[in-house]
Amino acid sequence: MANAGRFFMLKKGSLLNDMIIVIHENKDWMPPFEQAFQDLDIEYAVWYMPEMNINFSDQPPDAVFYNRMSASSHTRGHRYEPELTVGVLSWLERHQRKVVNGSRALDLELSKLRQYQELEKYNILTPKTFAAIHKKDLLDGANEIGFPLITKHNRSGKGLGVHRFDNLSGLENHIKSKKFEESPDGITLIQEYIEAPSNTITRIEFIGGKFLYAVEVNTTQGFKLCPADECQVDSDSPTGDFFKFKILNKFSLPNMEDYESFLAMNSIEVAGIEIITDSNNVVWTYDVNTNTNYNAEAEHIANQSAPHELAKYLQRLAMNTSNQDEVLLYLQK
């Protein structure tokens, strides 16, 4: 590939340099994954999309690609990186490279509306949702959905743009105020508020399209529920006065196979799916994160490591797509 050295961050410079390539736009979220690769002595490279330039007439490297492009990239000054990544993933897939969380996964990452339509295909309940581009239409949507309700961005992350309203006047005042934030795609959602008696939500983590573990998230302090350490905003400690994230020792859902089918049919291999259980024990699903992060403190307490599991999963894929004789020769050195 032309100018490959400009945007590869190669590790160890050996035979298997390009076995795994991670596509991303947020350096702050990479250390746990890079540490896992290093702990397991796995060769990898990264494509940092804000600095990428590609000649699409070239052939892509022979590698397994792991896409971590985020819907919240605009909050870090990377407004157009998802669009560039759409083209990169299409290029890789055209050349039949193995892509973990490819173009279909990114398509759903960038639109909650499309997420909800796909989830409903597999009998997975989602909250009633109204979408509009123009502010004036949001009030009509609120009357259709009913109160209490929340607003949210169609394309976002980290709980940005999520606010609860208990009446029409409160919503109207917010829409007319300077505090109102536009979604980067211009689409604002009005969604019924699902009340959880436990004041928690559950995030179900999947690797290789299979359930890994569930983490309970305390919502007492609001809707910013990103599990990565860099997302924590409390001044005293990463978790405040309580453990905001707790991995559940025993967790099951009667329709877990529906979630796995949803992931499989949408070519999503790595995901964190957020659910909430109401007072009638009805489970609602409201977000699919295909660039999932993990909370280090919760994993330490539970003696779990999703980054290590993910690294091993990617390594298995890379071994299956590489020349086996060369791989075995390298591993015997």
149: domain CATH number is 3.30.1490.20
Q: Is the pLDDT of residue 4 over 50?
A: no
The predicted structure's pLDDT at residue 271: 98
Terminal CA-to-CA distance of the chain, rounded, Å? 28
Q: Are residues 149 and 37 in the same domain?
A: no
Q: Give the span between the Cα atoms of 232 and 258, in whole angstroms.
A: 32
Asked whether residue 176 falls in the same domain as residue 218, the answer is: no
The pLDDT value recorded for residue 298 is 96
Tally of domains in the chain = 3
Question: 24-33, 57-66, 238-247, 293-302: which range is least confident on average?
Answer: 238-247
- Total residue count of the chain as it appears in this document: 333
Domain boundary among 152, 168, 192: 192
User: What is the sign, positive or negative, of the torsion defined by CA atoms of 66, 72, 73, 76?
Assistant: negative
Amino acid (one-letter) located at 264: A
Q: What is the pLDDT of residue 103?
A: 98
Name the least confident of 5-14, 103-112, 203-212, 234-243: 5-14
pLDDT at 329: 34
Residue 32 sits in a domain whose CATH number is: 3.40.50.20
pLDDT given at position 10: 37
Among 158, 224, 162, which Cα is nearest to 188's? 162
Pick the last residue of a domain from 146, 172, 192.
192
pLDDT tens digit sequence for 198-247 = 999 999 999 999 999 999 999 887 655 555 555 443 333 334 444 689 99
Of 23-27, 218-222, 273-277, 325-329, minimum mean pLDDT range: 325-329
Q: Are strands 64-67 and 129-132 parallel, antiparallel or unpaired?
A: unpaired
Tell me, what's the pLDDT at 192? 97
This prediction has a pTM of 0.87
Q: Both 169 and 50 in a single domain?
A: no
227 and 120 inside one domain: yes
Q: What is the model's pLDDT at position 325?
A: 39
Q: Are residues 116 and 251 located together in one domain of the fold?
A: yes
Q: Residue 145: name the closest of 159, 126, 160 by CA.
A: 126
Specify the pLDDT at position 223: 59
- 60 and 46 in a common domain: yes
The mean per-residue pLDDT over the stretch 240-257 comes to 85
Closest of 64, 66, 27, 81 to residue 270, by C-alpha: 66
% of residues, the chain, pLDDT over 70: 84
3-state class of 266 per DSSP? coil
249, 223: one domain: yes
If asked whether residues 174 and 97 sit together in one domain, one would say: no
The answer to whether residues 223 and 208 touch, using CB atoms and an 8 Å cutoff, is: no
DSSP state letter for 142: H
Where is the domain boundary, 170, 192, 214?
A: 192
pLDDT at 16: 39
Range of the domain at 187: 129-192
What per-residue confidence (pLDDT) applies to 136?
A: 93
Which three-class secondary structure state does DSSP give residue 327? helix
Q: Please state the rounded mean pLDDT for residues 295-312.
A: 97
pLDDT of residue 86: 97
Q: Are residues 172 and 211 in the same domain?
A: no
- Which residues are CB-neighbours of 210 under 8 A, at least 6 positions away? 260
* Same domain assignment for residues 143 and 288: no
Q: Are residues 148 and 284 in the same domain?
A: no
Checking if the pLDDT of 276 tops 60, the result is yes
Sign of CA dihedral 314, 271, 264, 100: negative
Is 70 exceeded by the pLDDT of residue 8? Answer: no
Strand partners, 208: none
For residue 159, the model assigns a pLDDT of: 77
Is residue 323's pLDDT more than 50?
no
Interval 43-90: pLDDT, tens: 999 999 999 999 999 999 999 999 999 999 999 999 999 999 999 999
Give me the CATH number covering residue 288.
3.30.470.20
Reply yes or no on whether the pLDDT at 330 is more than 60: no
Give the 3-state secondary structure of residue 326. Answer: helix
Alpha carbon separation from 219 to 159, 222, 286 (Å, rounded): 11, 5, 14
> Quick one: pLDDT at residue 320?
87
Distance CA 204, CA 215 (A): 7
pLDDT in tens, 147-166: 999 999 999 877 778 999 99
- Residues 267, 298, single domain; the answer is yes
Q: What integer pLDDT is reported at residue 228 of this predicted model?
A: 52
